[in-house]
Amino acid sequence: MDQPQFGNINAILNLLRSNPNSYFPDISQCLNTTEQDIQRIRDEVRQLERKIVSLKAERKELEWKASQYRSLLAPIRRLPPEVLQNIFQFACLEGLKVGSEASSASAQITWVCTAWRKCVRSIPGLWSVLRFERIGLTHRTIEQVGPLLRMHLELSKPSPLYVDLDIPVLPAVNNELVSFVSKVLISESPRWRTISLGVPEHYDAQLLAVKEKLPLLHTLHLKRSEFKDVMDAFEVAPSLRIVNLETNRGISRLKLPWHQVSSFSTKYAKCGTAYAALFKAAEATEITLSQCFNPDSLRRSLGIINHKLHSLSIVVGGQESNFHHWFNWLTLPRLTTLNVAGAENDPPDSCTDVFLNDCFPTFLSRSSCTITSLSFTNLPLSDVQVLAIIASLPSLSHLTVHERASQPFKNTILTSHFFDSLRMDCHHTFSSRPSPCLTKRLQSLDLCLHGTLQARSIVEFVESRWTTNPEYAAVLGVHNLTVVKILVLRSRDAMILDAEELCDLLDVYKGLGLRVSCSSKFLDE
């Protein structure tokens, strides 16, 4: 009988099945040979695996090198200097900021490459913004802040400076840094363009050093609970036009070139204090009264007549949520813009109707003004209240209404009733009864509303105020809308109105000249 091929396991198995008592002594040799082959293959696999690891490492290195070559060909490296300058100006808006950390976007850009360093260092405006917060002046050191401050002051020359300095009211833990920063900034007062100061009164003596050294100062923002003593450091400032005050009392002790001020705002003041400031800012064309309180302090006041004022903004908060009382004391013949808003950090829960005691109609009659722009933002008003105000403003052309973005997420002003009331009804054009349209000159609309409405309500309103036929528009006496901006606030219970759907429905009017902007924002529950 032929000997089996012991290298063939199947042949061995067949022989064992036919003769179970067979013994093949060479099987051990086959096993040894096979195990040797296994070890040989294992060794080859290890070698190949090491080679693969080596090749992967080489590939990774080559990929990194290729990315570097690609970066050298990146479009940003071929941007002309003037384009880079615009990009850097946008990226470096905060300038030097000393807060919980000391940071400077301009300085960080200089670390990228020589070309960018040269570009950034050649633009003084990128180094001209200096902001010092209370926490930064308390916890930082001269060693941390000094080099950055000196670099910004040196590289910002000859650009004007935009300074925000907020010194802690209580004696600072780090008095050396506060003293260093204040002295350095005061020595640069001839370059101040905008200055925001939250400085305790015991620093007033140092501030006297800037007196008559403010040739460029345009905007002044002062923050202090009370001016107890006369402050005349800013009495001479030939370029001063904008003044913002955050103080409760003592405005009469603040010496400013009031006759130059064109824009004035007061915040956190008693109504009586704000009232006194309005007398001083008699030449202002824009005034903002923000979160003023204690309207009872106005009871014995005489009325103010301001023939210069064009824009009045009122911001109300939770402490004093009403604003109707201002219309009892003001007469503004040239008023064209009225803005009323709830404070973002402390919005009111309710507001008294501005028609209380006929104060608003009386104000309009007394002032004989023509208000063309109206804005209500973040206020707990109803659609009926706002429609009543709109009805009293026949020349209104610009309307802004932003619903509150707080719980409960619902529209109180921008309801179906609101849009129906403003929708032009062409079927009543030639009838004897008045049109339901409250204002016919409306051209610009800026809305922020919760997505609880059907898009059709808004679209029908826009359609009613749009025509391509000038003669037809003249017959109706209605101006075409030219700008519609809508922000939809979406939440779990406000998903009906879709910004994309609304934009699609208004798309036909885009081609006819209407500027439409529709976007959405999801609110945190």
Is residue 13 scored above 50 in pLDDT?
yes
Amino acid in position 280? K
Q: Which residue would you say has higher pLDDT here, 4 or 183?
A: 183
The predicted pLDDT at position 174 comes to: 60
Residue 359: pLDDT band (50, 70, 90) is confident
Cα–Cα distance measured from residue 166 to residue 147, given in angstroms and rounded to the nearest whole number? 20
The predicted pLDDT at position 311 comes to: 97
Q: Which residue would you say has higher pLDDT here, 144 or 333?
A: 333
Look at residue 432 and give its three-state secondary structure.
coil
Cα–Cα distance measured from residue 323 to residue 330, given in angstroms and rounded to the nearest whole number? 12
Instruction: Let me know: does 480 contact 440? Beta carbons within 8 Å.
Output: no
The position carrying tokens 């925000």 is: 164
Please give the backbone phi and psi of residue 419, each rounded to the nearest 5 degrees, phi first.
-70, -35
Helix segments in 281-427, DSSP class H: 326-329, 359-367, 383-391, 416-422
Instruction: Let me know: does 124 contact 156? Beta carbons within 8 Å.
Output: yes
Is residue 321 scored above 90 in pLDDT?
no
Instruction: Let me know: does 148 contact 181? Beta carbons within 8 Å.
Output: no
Cα–Cα distance measured from residue 8 to residue 222, given in angstroms and rounded to the nearest whole number? 99
Residue 29: pLDDT band (50, 70, 90) is confident
Region 267-279: mean pLDDT is: 87
Q: Which residue would you say has higher pLDDT here, 253 or 399?
A: 399
Instruction: Let me know: does 317 contact 342? Beta carbons within 8 Å.
Output: yes
If we measure between CA atoms, which residue out of 336, 326, 335, 387 comes closest to residue 360?
326
Cα–Cα distance measured from residue 105 to residue 292, given in angstroms and rounded to the nearest whole number? 37
The predicted pLDDT at position 193 comes to: 97
Of 360-364, 399-403, 408-412, 477-481, the least confident: 477-481
The predicted pLDDT at position 348 comes to: 87
Region 49-56: mean pLDDT is: 93
pTM of the model: 0.79
Region 169-180: mean pLDDT is: 73
The predicted pLDDT at position 21 comes to: 67
Is residue 197 scored above 90 in pLDDT?
yes
Is residue 521 scored above 70 in pLDDT?
yes
Residue 297: pLDDT band (50, 70, 90) is low
Residue 234: pLDDT band (50, 70, 90) is very high
Is residue 511 scored above 80 in pLDDT?
no
Of 171-180, 188-197, 478-487, the least confident: 171-180
Cα–Cα distance measured from residue 308 to residue 274, given in angstroms and rounded to the nearest whole number? 17
Strand partners for 139: none
Look at residue 129 and give its three-state secondary structure.
strand
Region 162-167: mean pLDDT is: 93
Amino acid in position 340? V
Percent of the chain with pLDDT over 70: 91
Residue 24: pLDDT band (50, 70, 90) is low
The predicted pLDDT at position 223 comes to: 92
pLDDT in tens, 400-457: 999 998 878 889 999 999 998 888 765 554 433 334 456 788 999 999 999 888 888 8
Instruction: Let me know: does 310 contact 337? Beta carbons within 8 Å.
Output: yes
pLDDT in tens, 130-152: 999 988 888 888 888 899 999 99
Look at residue 28 and give its three-state secondary structure.
helix
Name the most confidently modeled range: 265-279, 292-306, 370-384, 437-451.
Answer: 370-384
The predicted pLDDT at position 525 comes to: 58
Of 2-6, 241-245, 248-252, 295-299, the least confident: 2-6
